[in-house]
Chains A and B, each alone.
Chain A
Amino acid sequence: MTSRLRFVLIAGSISFLLTGCGDAFNAGTISYKDSEQFTKKQKDTPDLDGKPQLQEAVRKALADLFGPRPQEIKVPAGSGFPEGGRYLANYEKVGDGVQDIVYTEANSGKKVAVVGGYGLYRKYCLHCHGVQGAGDGPTAEFLYPLPRDYRRGVFKFTSTAPSNPKPTRADLKKTITHGLHGTSMPAFEALMSGSEIEQVIDYVIFLSMRGEVERNLISIAALVDKDDINGITADDIKESLDTVVNNWKATETLVVSPKARRTEPTRESVLRGRDIFLGKKFGTGQPVACTDCHGLHAKGDGSSFVERNIFDKVVFRRKSLDTAIEERYKELGDEHKSAQWQPGGHGGGHDSASSELPETFDAYKNRETTNWDKGSKDDWGNPLRAANLNLGVYKGGRRPIDLYWRIAKGINGAKMPAHGNLLPDDQIWDVVNFILALPYEPDLLKDAEQIKKSVTAAPAVTQR
């Protein structure tokens, strides 16, 4: 029944000087901004550059489906929101007028006017995540990592698989409630009530749907000739929407459940986990390459990523990659030179050949540029680095199940791949145990170089 409802909701502000009224911050109109795919030539994604008619058609389709402005929300039919998406806003259009949206509190039976997902999002989230959920709010620019752009429908920390699935409501709820430790995403548990968080989840999903439908429509329109007025058909629109909606609806069935209980975190399990981390193969498992990204000492300084020094210069000092690489190469040269003059330093300072770095600048630049372009960016094109596992900070959560999900199914949109097909569950639990033990026992990786050598150079040992 509810799936056929098509609400028109109004998010607005009626009171002005009253406080305590939840909608006071709704005043002041905002409007959806076109995504950059509309008018700008894109490198990797389709765009509608130079196709004004099709741009208009996509805009119209979006307005028909989701409402023309953030303040005027249409909920697409069959989108699967709780109660048909009523809690996205605080007013409902009835005939010519509007009426408050209320909900009945479960325990007290009181009727409460909702603030609505839009209002809460606007108050708490918009300044980072932006009007259309593009992660481009005014505060966002100086944060690392950057706030999520919902428009791809990809969320990093989910409990679902396979590749890039939608998060469950529980996943989103966990992120909003507890924040993402180690990022700028705060925990909202102390700022919003449970039902308010649910409203925000609705709105985040709404924005994500809108953004993904926008992308889909642009992909379709990009293939169409620019003067074709009927380039986007009603079927196209419906299909674009349905794909997205169905993905969101299906997500609850895609939750990955570990087949085995967690192995007791015994010394053996931890050491086994460490060896797996360092690339050793056990039983039916495949060797995994954790150290390529996380580094031998799990400091997040693996060789697939651009050097941390260069990363810092580009991300935090806003230098161009080339400048950063040049500067770093110079620094390396200086370090190399001064090392020679130290007691025990190689070369003794007499051999002029050894005062040169072992690697030419071009080779260095080539390698680091590739590392940056290929290794150090997530699917959104934002800079990325591997986690330092020594800190005891786990963005996706520190429960064993969270870490299991991170290892078994990876981090969506980021470089962390799924290992569920490489490692049996008991070995994943070993790695979980190792990761949870590492901050308390930094000595675990003291001899990482030797262990790594022994596990990789002597496969005979692993084939016991």
Chain B
Amino acid sequence: MRYWSLLFALAAIISVGIFAYAPISPEWWLPAGPNVSAGHLHSVSSAGKQIDSLFVIILLITGIVFIGTQVALVYATYFFVDKGPNGRKASYFHGSQRLEVIWTIIPAAILVFIALYQMGTWASVKFRSAAPKVQPLAQVTARQFQWVIRYPGEDGKLETKDDLFMVNDLHFVKGKQALIYLKSSDVLHSFFLPALRIKQDAVPGLTIPVWFDTDQAGHYELVCAELCGWGHYKMRGNVTVHETQEEFDQWLQSALKEQSRDQVAAVVTGSQGR
């Protein structure tokens, strides 16, 4: 009968094993940047690094609690099993005030610690007062089922005639804070950059600032994380992080040129114009 405890032990060991293995597998761990093959398994954004370290701290704390409780459970189910009429009797007690106090105060302290410890990170990634004082990169309007991204043109201002309109194509520069204004034109969507740990719902009727950065140039993916209708899964965006501002400006110029095209091109590039 006591061997049932081994089932619970096995489940706990496998669970711990899975989480012990996860950090060394790029497909299991928190999504990394574009240079994942080079062994960079950490996040590549400043918010992401803080979030990852918080994640690891919580993982360790919960891991310890998990192992502790499972050991107790397995121990109890192994050693206190009924051994028939001749076995020992169950001990008779109704509880212990001291224990109750201990296991109320210690978890409470840990939980309050976690809660307070992360306040700073939360404030720095979401509070509007923490938004970087930079020229906005773009206005991102989610619609079923694409991201309409509107970059300020030469005048550097949004909502003017020289804005560049792109679909599913977000560009910004490495090492610079990118600030976008997130809107929705129909239903709820959610702007999710897994590699940068950024997520924010796009809400009909609201304009929400979102900011992020990264220290690795390359290609990333933009995900819609809030159910938005039949084509929800299709709502993927390409993200390109440019090495330098010049590279970005160059791209912007060529895209603007394509957008103002008034002739049939000799070669149809077919990549940027709307």
Residues of A within 8 A of B (CB): 124, 139, 159, 170, 173-174, 177-179, 181, 184, 186-187, 189-191, 255-258, 261-262, 265, 394, 397-402, 404, 429, 436-437, 440
Contact = CB atoms under 8 A, between A and B. Distances in A.
B167 A179 contact: yes
Interface in B180-222: none
B263 interface: yes
B264 A255 contact: yes
A177 B270 contact: yes
A142 to B, nearest CB: 9
A231 to B, nearest CB: 43
Nearest to B160: A440
25 contacts: A124-B234, A173-B268, A173-B270, A174-B273, A177-B270, A177-B271, A178-B273, A181-B167, A184-B231, A187-B168, A189-B167, A189-B169, A189-B238, A190-B168, A190-B237, A191-B236, A261-B262, A397-B273, A397-B274, A398-B259, A399-B259, A399-B273, A400-B261, A400-B262, A437-B161
A261 B263 contact: yes
A349 to B, nearest CB: 39
Given A181-B148, A186-B145, A401 B263 contact: yes
Interface string B133-157: 0000000000011101000000000
B263 A257 contact: yes
Chain A interface mostly helix, strand, loop or mixed? loop
A436 B273 contact: no
Given A186-B145, A191-B234, A436-B161, A399 B270 contact: no
Contacts of A139: 230
Interface string B155-177: 00001110001011100000000
A258 B263 CA distance: 7
Interface in B218-272: 230-231, 234-238, 258-264, 268, 270-271
Contacts of B167: 178-179, 181, 187, 189
Given A258-B262, A261-B262, A398-B274, A186 B234 contact: yes
Contacts of B237: 190
A184 B144 contact: yes
Nearest to A256: B264
Given A179-B167, A181-B148, A437-B161, A399 B234 contact: no
Contacts of B159: 440
Contacts of A177: 270-271
Given A179-B146, A397-B274, A257 B230 contact: no
Contacts of A256: 264
Nearest to A263: B262
Contact of B258 (A159, A170, A394, A399): A399
A173 B262 CA distance: 18
Given A190-B236, A397-B273, A436-B161, A170 B230 contact: no
Contacts of A394: 274
Contact of B262 (A124, A186, A187, A404): A404
A257 B145 CA distance: 32
Contacts, number: 81
Contacts of A437: 161
Contacts of A159: 264
B87 to A, nearest CB: 49
Given A189-B168, A436-B161, A181 B261 contact: no
Contacts of A261: 262-263
A198 to B, nearest CB: 10
A190 B167 CA distance: 9
Interface in B91-127: none
Given A159-B264, A261-B262, A429-B262, 16 more contacts: A173-B268, A178-B273, A181-B148, A187-B167, A189-B168, A189-B169, A189-B238, A190-B168, A190-B169, A191-B234, A257-B263, A397-B274, A399-B259, A399-B273, A400-B262, A440-B159
A189 B237 CA distance: 9
Contacts of A262: 262
A184 B168 CA distance: 15
A197 to B, nearest CB: 9
Nearest to B237: A190
Contacts of A179: 146, 167
Contacts of B146: 179, 186-187
Nearest to B259: A399
B163 to A, nearest CB: 9
A137 B271 CA distance: 28
Given A258-B262, A404-B262, A181 B231 contact: no
A440 B159 CA distance: 8
Contacts of B230: 139
B238 A190 contact: yes
Contacts of B161: 265, 436-437, 440
A397 B274 CA distance: 5
A337 B212 CA distance: 57
A96 to B, nearest CB: 39
Contact of B270 (A174, A255, A400, A440): A174
A280 B73 CA distance: 87
A400 to B, nearest CB: 4
Contacts of A397: 273-274
A190 B145 CA distance: 12
Contacts of A181: 148, 167, 274
Nearest to A138: B230
A255 B274 CA distance: 18
A196 B238 CA distance: 16
Contacts of A436: 161
Given A184-B144, A187-B146, A401 B168 contact: no
B62 to A, nearest CB: 31
